[in-house]
Chain A
Amino acid sequence: MLAERPITPATLSRKDLPWQIKWDINTCTKCGRCTSVCPVNAIELGVFRKRDVKPPMGLSAKPTTEFSTFYGIRQRTDPAYACIGCAMCNMVCPNNAIEPSRQYDSTTLQFHNNRGGQPRTRGGRRNSSESLLDQIKFIRISMLTDPALDAGRHEFDVRTLLGRVLSPEAEIKCFRENGWKPPVREIYPLVIGGMSFGALSPNMWEGLQMGVAYLNEEMNMPVRISTGEGGCPPRLLRSRFLKYVILQIASGYFGWDEIIHAIPEMKEDPCAIEIKYGQGAKPGDGGLLMWYKVNKLIAAIRGVPSGVSLPSPPTHQTKYSIEEAVAKMIQSMSMAWGFRVPVYPKISASSTSLAVLNNLVRNPYAAGLAIDGEDGGTGAAYNVSMNHMGHPIASNLRDCYKALCVAGAQNEIPLIAGGGIGKHGNLAANAAALIMLGASMVQVGKYVMQAGAGCLGSEKDRCNVCNIGVCPKGITSQDPRVYRRLDPEKVAERVVDFYLSFDTELRKVIAPLGRSTSLPVGMSDALGISDKDAADRLDIKYVI
């Protein structure tokens, strides 16, 4: 530090930073790996000068001053370079000589992370460690009259339906009259939610696709992955693996041209088409792919110039109302594939979700409704949107399911719940709770990054730099120097691993509840919670 450095309103000391670097001079070998790996340049090699006063023995000789120079690690205090706590420095340090540590009383930085009048944007998820889903318990254990099922040995049918299911009366009528039946896919109830090819690095995307293909073809698990907005690599569009993919179209239509042009050459239909109207992390806001990540490849796939930010509009530009959007978008997308592919919208959970659902119930082509709760993650959004906007998924989903029950359509429009599932690692328990609250399937994104590729982000504002393309693990970066760190084969392996363990855990939940031949959608009598208000709101049992 300079002795006479200027002290301005934006000047911060190390104490003001939430993440502080602990560096041990004694074990550091000064190899420099930590500074070279730091994604935000929060640390730099520093030259330190030390003055030593040496008083000699006796009275006559004067004290001498010696200056020594040594090299070390210095943490910058400029808010633009604040440490994000990713701990990559520790990961590469041969001696564990360096690590970030969190200071919870250091809150000053948040008043300064809007320099130049730009509010903070970041990736990740809402900075809240609460999780209602984790509070839900499974209370209806079947042990009175019959032996509980053996989760390890019993035959289970863990499948769900994506697509408009006709009512039994309509199905029989349709069969007799040989009428048109909406397409329905039987899939695994845990779907990898939309993370676009622009948001994720090519290695991450390739790893996910390989993992999904392996699960389908080797493990007999019909797992599906949504592409997110931004198109799909042309080779995948023309490959037989397309059937494992849910193509997403969002309000920006990025990459959609590529998809449309590939239709005549598609060997397989995609699993489904997801029309994204909103996502839980930034409800009412469009997608945001910042210029850092728009390299030549992404620009080519999306059909845009490179190096420019790509914000999608918050709503579909061409549509006047949700009624019109549901009617026209769904119908035209269905038509593009000859009504052989299910088409459904994805919305952010909000108090108006029911309005969208009401529209879908009346639309014979609507194949489902994906609802994304406030805890959903994103590659980039404004901090304020992520932290303060949105509706929790559990109550929103429950409202929608109960509305379907009243309409008698709970089997007909599958609800896909997302947003904060597995936030604390309890993926199977959270998913099972949502299924019992009424979801036909659940979708996860952030969990896949954390478990599948070692994403370092947390709900304590750790890392969260997905937006600027410097992801220290190479998951959300488009810079080959960074994403080379990620081995697609290893990602695929991890995806397969966590899917298989999810499957076992899900069985360990549903088998003691006495379920094995159909997914326990809406089995709300199995759920209890020790919060009276939550119990009343979700219409589940209050247990203390």
Chain B
Amino acid sequence: MCRLFALTSRDPVSPMRAIDALNVMKEGHDGSGVGLFLSGLGGPWEELKEYPILSGIFTDAGLARMSEYMTKNGFQSKYSATFKPDVEPPVGTPKRGTYASIAFKIPDEWKGMTQAQVDSNLVQMRLDLRAMGEAEGDIMVFSFWPDTIMIKEVGDPMAIAGYLKLDREELYARHILAQGRQNTNYAINLYACHPFFIEGISTMTNGENTAFVPIREYLMSRGVTGYQGYQSDSEVFTHIAHYATKRLGLDISSYKHVITPMNDDEMRDHPDRAFLSDLKRACRKLIIDGPNCVIGCLPDGSMFMAQDRKKLRPGVVGGNPELGIYGFSSEICGLNAAIPDRDRTKDFQPMHLDTAIVGPDCREVLQCSQKDPLRQQL
């Protein structure tokens, strides 16, 4: 079972804090992989909030092909944080080349575009690069988005952290999602490693998504750029979050109404019953049949955790509002390791009706129950 740990903090922190938490939870995973999502970047990236950052792994030839592609599209490199390990990789990890995060300046021709067009074009460029890389095996791209870095690798999280020197200051971030373990149900593939990312939304999941194929087919038929890939059964959770928030315009507290709607009895006395039963009908294809725990981060930096009613052991959310740091962990021991200095009585384990949300200000855990009136005015 995957181990998940997410941190959200007012001040940038080292991703090692999350990796350490994964290491504490190691008993429950096989150390076969690690994935990192970083946003709200600190250090040198503070000044580059507007510039999309391309994160991926490149061979030398791949780096050249990528540069050529970006130049051809009018993009200009502004800053890069590249890392090429000079030591032998840990056991089980292939030697791949350069791990790069490069910020680009958007071409002037894009200035007249709407934000939606720009977003869609950025996704398309990431997909183009991914396709180029899949053909030649020299480029792997995980994200291309402002204020976002993603790192993925096969191997034990702690060993990878040492190998890739993840403690570098240029990787300090306010919002960190970290996941340990590779694909559960399908073949090992770097693209299958959590977290998954699309247009500023990133989620990671543990469990098994048995409704994967119908959901994948449904999402792929929506005609949204970027709804493809699906090397993992969990990638659909990210896209459902994207679909619910960006396409349907719903609030993240409604995400759970989409993936795990209430049954008729629970819905009977709900003040928004009319809307919720319509939503349940229309989004029936997106109902997950877990058990799953989903932790995610939204473009504004809010973080959430939700899970379906089959999940036997819920995740936990806790933190310290004084220090402005909150952790989302699949196990309590991970949270204890990362944020020992907190009031443990205020830890929250969201059960089958709950969504836990921590806003970008990191002041409190907002507990939303599906039985509450909808926060959003429709």
Partner of B308 from A157, A409, A517 at Cβ < 8 Å:
A517
B-contacting residues, A296-350, CB 8 Å: none
Partner of A408 from B222, B308, B312 at Cβ < 8 Å:
B222
Across the interface, which residues of A come within 8 angstroms of B243, CB to CB? 168
Across the interface, which residues of A come within 8 angstroms of B113, CB to CB? none
B-contacting residues, A154-205, CB 8 Å: 155, 157, 161, 165-172, 174-176, 181, 184
Indicate if the CB atoms of B278 and A522 lie closer than 8 Å.
no
B-contacting residues, A390-441, CB 8 Å: 405-411
State the Cβ distance, B27 to closest chain A Cβ, in Å.
15
A515 to B243, CA, bound (A): 23
State the Cβ distance, B265 to closest chain A Cβ, in Å.
10
Indicate if the CB atoms of B210 and A142 lie closer than 8 Å.
yes
Across the interface, which residues of A come within 8 angstroms of B312, CB to CB? 146-147
Indicate if the CB atoms of A408 and B223 lie closer than 8 Å.
yes
Indicate if the CB atoms of B208 and A168 lie closer than 8 Å.
no
Q: Mark B180-213, 1 if CB is under 8 A from A, else 0.
A: 0000110000000000000000000001101111
- Stretch among B33-41, B86-94, B161-169, B285-293 lining the A interface: B285-293
Q: Mark B344-378, 1 if CB is under 8 A from A, else 0.
A: 00000000000000000000000000000000001
Indicate if the CB atoms of A405 and B217 lie closer than 8 Å.
yes
Nearest B residue to A522 via CB reads B214
In the complex with contacts A517-B260, A517-B289, A518-B289, A165-B210 CB distance below 8 A: no
In the complex with contacts A168-B279, A169-B248, A176-B378, A146-B207 CB distance below 8 A: yes
A528 to B311, CA, bound (A): 28
Across the interface, which residues of B come within 8 angstroms of A409, CB to CB? 221
A289 CB within 8 Å of chain B: no
Indicate if the CB atoms of A515 and B282 lie closer than 8 Å.
no
In the complex with contacts A168-B279, A516-B310, A410-B285 CB distance below 8 A: yes
A123 to B250, CA, bound (A): 55
Nearest A residue to B220 via CB reads A405
Nearest A residue to B222 via CB reads A408
B-contacting residues, A512-526, CB 8 Å: 513-518, 520-525
Indicate if the CB atoms of A166 and B214 lie closer than 8 Å.
no
Indicate if the CB atoms of B211 and A145 lie closer than 8 Å.
no
State the Cβ distance, B154 to closest chain A Cβ, in Å.
19
Across the interface, which residues of A come within 8 angstroms of B223, CB to CB? 408
Indicate if the CB atoms of B310 and A149 lie closer than 8 Å.
yes
Indicate if the CB atoms of B221 and A406 lie closer than 8 Å.
yes
Indicate if the CB atoms of B275 and A175 lie closer than 8 Å.
yes
B281 CB within 8 Å of chain A: yes
B44 CB within 8 Å of chain A: no
B284 CB within 8 Å of chain A: yes
State the Cβ distance, B308 to closest chain A Cβ, in Å.
7
In the complex with contacts A144-B185, A145-B207, A515-B289 CB distance below 8 A: yes
Indicate if the CB atoms of B211 and A523 lie closer than 8 Å.
yes
Partner of A523 from B213, B248, B282, B290 at Cβ < 8 Å:
B213
Indicate if the CB atoms of B282 and A516 lie closer than 8 Å.
no
A166 to B275, CA, bound (A): 13
SS of B interface (majority): loop
Nearest A residue to B206 via CB reads A145
Partner of A145 from B1, B217, B247, B378 at Cβ < 8 Å:
B1
State the Cβ distance, A527 to closest chain B Cβ, in Å.
10
Interface centre among B210, B223, B263, B275 (most CB of A within 10 A): B210
Indicate if the CB atoms of A411 and B284 lie closer than 8 Å.
yes
SS of A interface (majority): loop
In the complex with contacts A144-B208, A515-B289, A407-B282 CB distance below 8 A: no
B283 CB within 8 Å of chain A: yes
Indicate if the CB atoms of B282 and A411 lie closer than 8 Å.
yes
B-contacting residues, A95-151, CB 8 Å: 140, 142, 144-147, 149
B-contacting residues, A492-544, CB 8 Å: 513-518, 520-525
Across the interface, which residues of A come within 8 angstroms of B218, CB to CB? 405, 408, 410-411
Indicate if the CB atoms of B378 and A175 lie closer than 8 Å.
yes
A469 to B175, CA, bound (A): 76
Across the interface, which residues of B come within 8 angstroms of A145, CB to CB? 1, 184-185, 207-208
Indicate if the CB atoms of A166 and B282 lie closer than 8 Å.
yes
State the Cβ distance, A184 to closest chain B Cβ, in Å.
6
B340 CB within 8 Å of chain A: no
Across the interface, which residues of A come within 8 angstroms of B207, CB to CB? 145-146
Nearest B residue to A401 via CB reads B217
A523 to B216, CA, bound (A): 10
State the Cβ distance, A40 to closest chain B Cβ, in Å.
49
State the Cβ distance, B26 to closest chain A Cβ, in Å.
17
Interface centre among B217, B247, B263 (most CB of A within 10 A): B217
A184 to B243, CA, bound (A): 24
State the Cβ distance, B312 to closest chain A Cβ, in Å.
7
A410 to B216, CA, bound (A): 12
Indicate if the CB atoms of B287 and A518 lie closer than 8 Å.
yes
Across the interface, which residues of A come within 8 angstroms of B287, CB to CB? 517-518
Indicate if the CB atoms of A522 and B210 lie closer than 8 Å.
no
Across the interface, which residues of A come within 8 angstroms of B260, CB to CB? 517
A520 to B215, CA, bound (A): 10
B271 CB within 8 Å of chain A: no
What are the nearest 5 A-B pairs in CB distance? A514-B210, A408-B221, A171-B282, A522-B214, A518-B287
Which B residues are closer than 8 A to A by beta carbons? 1, 184-185, 207-208, 210-214, 217-218, 220-223, 243, 247-250, 260, 263, 274-275, 278-279, 281-285, 287-291, 308-310, 312, 378
Which A residues are closer than 8 A to B by beta carbons? 140, 142, 144-147, 149, 155, 157, 161, 165-172, 174-176, 181, 184, 405-411, 513-518, 520-525
Interface pairs (22), CB distance under 8 Å? A145-B1, A166-B281, A168-B248, A168-B282, A170-B282, A171-B282, A172-B249, A172-B250, A172-B378, A174-B278, A405-B217, A405-B218, A408-B221, A410-B285, A515-B210, A515-B211, A515-B289, A517-B289, A517-B310, A520-B210, A521-B285, A525-B212
